[in-house]
Amino acid sequence: MSNKLQEIDTKSAFTPFRGAGGLVGDAVHVFAPATVANVVCGFDVLGFAVNEPGDEVIMRVTDKPGITISKITGDDGRLPLDPAKNTVSVSVQHYLDSIGRADIGLDIELHKKMPIGSGLGSSSASTVAGLYAIKTLMRDDRDPINLLPFAMKGEEMACGHGHADNVAPALLGGFVLIRSYEPLDVVRLPHPKDLWCAVVFPDVDVPTREARQIIRNKINMKDAVTQWGNIAGLVSGLFMQDIDLIGRSMQDVLVEPVRSMLIPDFYKMREIAMSNGAVSFGISGSGPSVFAFTRDEQTAKAITEKLQQHLTGLKIGSNTYVSTINDAGPRVIPT
Ligand code: HSE
């Protein structure tokens, strides 16, 4: 897999490909992972995939041109079945248009296995599962990175902005840097294999669209210097496998001070995580999920338990997940 994509021109990238697959009756079941975007200091430019949770799509080729969504589970009725309004079908339609196969008939089932509005890249996981499913059905063996522009369209529809720090790691797996948006330039980063991630999702709603609106548009030079020092420190720590450097670089003076207000007892949760052995702690994506890096699974589990206990004391329900960084990205589930 190439690491880098420069100036993707989706039309010219896809015109030569006219999928050989997509025969009526073909079907595929795909899983795509949740992601932690921003990674504290890298607003809109850093993200990584986790092993769980994730969303699943079952896609079948039908004999009636056009896309239908026959079933969505796990969403409490919040997501639209209308294919013109659902991010999965819209991004799949963009892909089909780009390869000249708008003639095909598709039926989609979406199985949400993670909370919506959680800060874990819920819409990205669904969109990437859908795109990986159509890529598989069309026997399109090109690098998955070519699906990124379509996934970003889904993200734009879901939250009003086409950022890539959830969709890129969901699609490519691993730890990803969006070096540039214009032109799009995406770099997969190495990471220490023994880095564990403890994720806690407090059951409060923080829509990404709103969490983006409260961020300051202008920043001062002193804060900018702090922030880019930290981003460079984090990326260096990933390359050098230096977990201490990773930990001390994960500080955010730009976004976290504002968004932390949307998260119940954020600073107390940080104190609990750090005093129980976390390497670092912060908001996952736009929240309300929070995450900590640790050096082992046991510490990650202990931190999720302590944070869950704390939230229970505040009468807030929560879900917890413990994972290493998922280098595989989306995968076909054998049927
Ligand atoms: N970078 C995005 C944000 C991730 O923080 O708004 C959320 O989808």
Binned at pLDDT 50, 70 and 90, residue 207 comes out as confident
What is the per-residue pLDDT across 298-328, written as a single tens digit (0 to 9) for each?
Answer: 999 999 999 999 999 999 999 999 999 999 9
- The long-range contacts involving 140-146, CB below 8 angstroms and separated by at least 24 positions, are 140/17, 140/19, 140/21, 140/99, 142/17, 143/1, 143/2, 144/1, 144/171, 144/172, 144/329, 144/330, 145/1, 145/2, 145/5, 145/171, 145/172, 145/186, 146/5, 146/8, 146/13, 146/14
pLDDT score of 3 more than 60: no
10 is catalytic: no
15 is catalytic: no
- What is the model's pLDDT at position 25? 79
What lies within 8 Å, CB to CB, of 50 at 6+ separation is: 33, 34, 35, 36, 120, 197, 199, 321, 323, 325, 326
pLDDT score of 285 more than 80: yes
DSSP-derived pairing of the beta strands 280-283 and 331-332: unpaired
Structure tokens at 17: 């490909």
Please state the pTM of the whole predicted model: 0.93
| Ligand 1 and 208: CB distance under 6 A | yes
Domains, in order of start, for the chain: 6-189+327-332 (3.30.230.10), 196-324 (3.30.70.890)
Mean pLDDT score of the chain, rounded to an integer?
92
What is the per-residue pLDDT across 71-91, written as a single tens digit (0 to 9) for each?
Answer: 999 999 999 999 999 999 999
Q: Could you say which of 87, 127, 136, 155 is catalytic?
A: 155
- Residue to substitute in 36, 41, 43 for testing ligand 1 pocket (most ligand atoms within 8 angstroms of CB): 43
Binned at pLDDT 50, 70 and 90, residue 162 comes out as confident
| Phi, psi dihedral angles at 119 (to 5 degrees) | 85, 15
